[in-house]
Amino acid sequence: MNETAQQIVDKDRQAYLPVFNRYNLVVERGEGPYVFSVDGEKYIDFLGGIAVNVLGHNYKPLVEAIARQAAKVIHISNLYYTRPQADAAAKLVKLSGLDRAFFANSGAEANEGAIKIARKYAHSIDPDKSQIITALDSFHGRTLATLTATGQPKYHKGFEPLPAGFDYVPYNDIDALERMMSDKTCAVMLETIQGEGGVYPPKDDYLKRVRELCDRHGALLILDEIQAGIGRSGKFFAYENYGIKPDIVTLAKGLAGGVPIGAFISTEEVAKTLKPGDHGTTFGGNPLACAAANVVLDTVPEPKFLAHVVEIGAYLKRRLIELQKKYPALITEVRGKGLILGAELSGANKKTGSEIVADCMNRGAIINCTAGKVLRFIPPLIIEKAHVDEVIDVVDAVLEQSL
């Protein structure tokens, strides 16, 4: 006999470490931009596994590539070459205009590797060149170094002592960054578009000026595109929107369409400071994960695919701005680029952000609230206008009841 949803929830609650505030939904399967509960209820998914399921659920070419690779070899260790890994690395190098790619298993691990390679490079110039500057309200992961890089004290509390050498500046404040930098700055690490912190895109020429400051001080620019990369901004790499190139870029979330993976890509000059033995991973970039990544890397960078993201992202943004105009007391701002969009709540609502998210779910739409007050829309990149309308109708009805 099949377990009921309630039995699954009860079992999980007794065994799984409860670090997530979960919604009362047990997912069975997905199809395109929809997911279905074990009870057969249908939901439109505008969270996409937190910006992961870029090709939607049950995307046949991805499912088939995973099955084909699983039947050949799932894992073999990085002591040997595999075709999927060589292909994926070559594609990332070509797309980024950088020189060397390394695969990890998650975003945090990709950033951890980026921090390590930056430190090793700077050490080769000056052992005191170790300062890493990141932004307030950033999010870079949950390992000790990446949670330290994360400029939000709430993630640090109770885990001290933290790794040394990290300083923080407000995002989009070029003067604060300039004051913080010196020739002891090893790297500036930023999200190209801040995600978790509340969906903040960079202002006008901010990233250009960051690039200039890095060049002036011989510091590396690390861009964390774990959330904003993989086509989400309308370009494959979000930095392509801003006319700059980082020294190191990190990817994860959408890179293999849902199979765990992370990557950092760097220039040869930086990469060559890591010698055999300086870094490594058992699972990272195994043939199964890379076979999945190759499907994403053959699909998302296509001009037609990216044009679709631009068009549908503009449509979703337009519809959100309409909601803002309809509920000016509830929504103060709509911001973002492509399909990483946020609608900031005023705080005057009868309901909190997470209550609004729960109400949307009860009406069949999965969205998210981040930073306590920003409704975040990071759906699969394959959504169509009708899907946008479906979600907007739900959010509209929920906001109407939140007045």
Ligand X SMILES: *Cc1c(COP(=O)(O)O)cnc(C)c1O
| CA–CA distance, 171 with 135 (Å, rounded to integer) | 5
- Cα 394 to the center of its chain, rounded Å: 25
- The DSSP result for 102-167, as a single string, is EEESSHHHHHHHHHHHHHHHHHHH-TT--EEEEEBT----SSHHHHHHSB-HHHHTTSPSPPS-EE
CB of 192 to ligand X, least distance (A): 9
In the bound state with ligand X, the residue whose beta carbon lies nearer, of 150 and 185, is 150
Q: Does 226 bind ligand X (CB under 6 A)?
A: yes
- Determine which helix (DSSP H) or strand (DSSP E) holds 320, and give its type and residue range: helix 303-326
| CA–CA distance, 42 with 35 (Å, rounded to integer) | 6
Q: Does 45 bind ligand X (CB under 6 A)?
A: no
Q: Does 139 bind ligand X (CB under 6 A)?
A: yes
Binding mask 311-350 for ligand X (x = CB under 6 A): ----------------------------------------
Q: Does 112 bind ligand X (CB under 6 A)?
A: no
The two three-digit tokens of residue 194, written as one number? 């801040």
Q: What is the DSSP letter of 41?
A: -
CB of 350 to ligand X, least distance (A): 30
In the bound state with ligand X, the residue whose beta carbon lies nearer, of 292 and 392, is 292
- CA distances in angstroms from 56 to 49, 78, 258, 291, listed in the order given: 10, 29, 9, 17
- Residue 42 forms beta bridges with which residues? 36
Q: Does 232 bind ligand X (CB under 6 A)?
A: no
Q: Does 286 bind ligand X (CB under 6 A)?
A: no
Q: Does 141 bind ligand X (CB under 6 A)?
A: yes
In the bound state with ligand X, the residue whose beta carbon lies nearer, of 52 and 365, is 52
CB of 193 to ligand X, least distance (A): 9
| CA–CA distance, 169 with 162 (Å, rounded to integer) | 18
CB of 146 to ligand X, least distance (A): 7
The vertex-253 CA angle with 230 and 354, nearest 5°, equals: 115
Among positions 32, 33, 195, 379, the unique one binding ligand X when judged by CB under 6 A: 195
Among positions 30, 48, 49, 107, the unique one binding ligand X when judged by CB under 6 A: 107
Among positions 91, 100, 140, 337, the unique one binding ligand X when judged by CB under 6 A: 140
Place of tokens 């994360």: 150
SS3 label, residue 221: strand
Q: State residue 196 phi and psi, 5-degree precision.
A: -50, -40
CB of 5 to ligand X, least distance (A): 26
Q: Does 247 bind ligand X (CB under 6 A)?
A: no
The two three-digit tokens of residue 159, written as one number? 């885990």
Number of residues that bind ligand X (CB under 6 A): 15
Listed ranges 34-42, 57-65, 102-110, 157-165: which one lies at the site for ligand X (CB under 6 A): 102-110
Q: Does 168 bind ligand X (CB under 6 A)?
A: no
Q: Does 224 bind ligand X (CB under 6 A)?
A: yes
Place of tokens 């307030």: 136
Listed ranges 53-61, 82-90, 211-219, 224-232: which one lies at the site for ligand X (CB under 6 A): 224-232
Q: At what angle do helices 83-96 and 287-299 cross, to 10 degrees?
A: 40
Q: Does 57 bind ligand X (CB under 6 A)?
A: no
The two three-digit tokens of residue 60, written as one number? 């046949």
Q: Does 47 bind ligand X (CB under 6 A)?
A: no
Contacts with ligand X, residue ranges (CB under 6 A): 106-108, 111, 139-141, 191, 195-196, 224, 226-227, 252-253
